[in-house]
Structure 1
Amino acid sequence: MNIRQIADNYAVSPQISVEDVAAIKAAGFKSVICNRPDNEDPGQPSADTIKTAVEAAGLEFRWVPVVSGQMTMQNVEEQAEALDALPRPVFAYCRSGTRCTNLYAAIQQMKG
């Protein structure tokens, strides 16, 4: 798992596994956001599978799926709502971490 710190309370990573959840918690994160649609790649763990592990570890979880290369304003607004509602710091993941990073950048632009 390759965690990239984007802001004080926000970091991103490529796809995680159930086994990564303990390390995410140990790193001090309070919440996890999945920005990957289910079945994007064969063998990828579903959002529900990760959600179950995240919540069992005592962390909060949100699923804000974004189709690769097709980020919409609705996606940006949903991510912003999740970030406002979730305890921080927040850990977000997608296939490579790029969508999570782009969503965060779009939110910052929206806030002006």
Structure 2
Amino acid sequence: MNTHLPIREIAPDVYVAPQLEPTDMAEVARLGFAAVINNRPDGEGGPEQPLNTAVQAAATAAGLNYQYLPVEGAYQSPEEIAAFGQLLAQVPRPLLCFCRSGARSTRLYMAATGA
């Protein structure tokens, strides 16, 4: 995968990245991703963090399936893990999940799949 985006594979057809910008969505689509899950709550990084609505609009314009499941960095509840598992079962692949650093999305994946 040739890209400037800091994308890391965590499972076949499942990747994670740190915070993505609306302007990154066209590149994500160009790379062949079918879906994006945003796990970062709005405002977590202060006013410089792009709002979910802006990222979602850009993802939709790029033809991506976009899901928003905001979870806190320090704790993911059993309900949030179950909701992430449901999204994993529903969204097309390859899938790119993002949060502040990619670690939270990785933890959610591991907890939801038992990996």
The TM-score by the shorter chain falls in which range? over 0.9
Q: Match of 1:102?
A: 107
SS at match of 2:82: helix
Moved over 3 A (4+): none
8 Å CA contact retained: 2:85, 2:113: no
1:16 & 1:96 partners in 2: Cα distance? 10
Partner of 2:31: 27
Using the TM superposition, give the Cα deviation of residue 103 of structure 1 relative to its aligned residue in structure 2, in angstroms: 0.6
TM-superposed CA distance for 1:108, in Å, is 1.8
Tell me if 1:46 matches 2:28: no
Residue deviations 1:16-62 (CA, integer Å, cap 9, x gap)? 01111111111110000000000001110111110000001111111
Is 2:12 aligned against 1:8? yes
Q: Secondary structure of the residue that 1:82 maps to in structure 2?
A: helix
TM-score w.r.t. structure 2 length? Answer: 0.92
Seq. identity, %:
36
Gaps (5+ residues) in structure 2? none
Distance 1:7 1:71 in 2: 20
The structure 2 residue matched to 1:90, chosen from 91, 95, 103, is 95
Instruction: Specify the code of the residue in structure 1 equivalent to 2:25.
Output: V
**Structure 1: how far apart are the matches of 2:18 and 2:51?**
14
Q: For each residue in 1:56-78, what CA deviation from the matched residue of structure 2 results, as whole angstroms up to 9, or x when unmatched?
A: 11111111111110111111111
Letter in 2 for 1:39: G
Number of residues of Structure 1 aligned to a counterpart in Structure 2: 110
Gaps in structure 1 of 5+ consecutive residues: none
Instruction: State the Cα distance separating 1:6 from its structure 2 match.
Output: 0.6
Q: What is the RMSD of the two structures over their aligned residues, measured on CA atoms?
A: 1.1
TM-score (norm 1): 0.94
Distance 2:18 2:64 in 1: 19
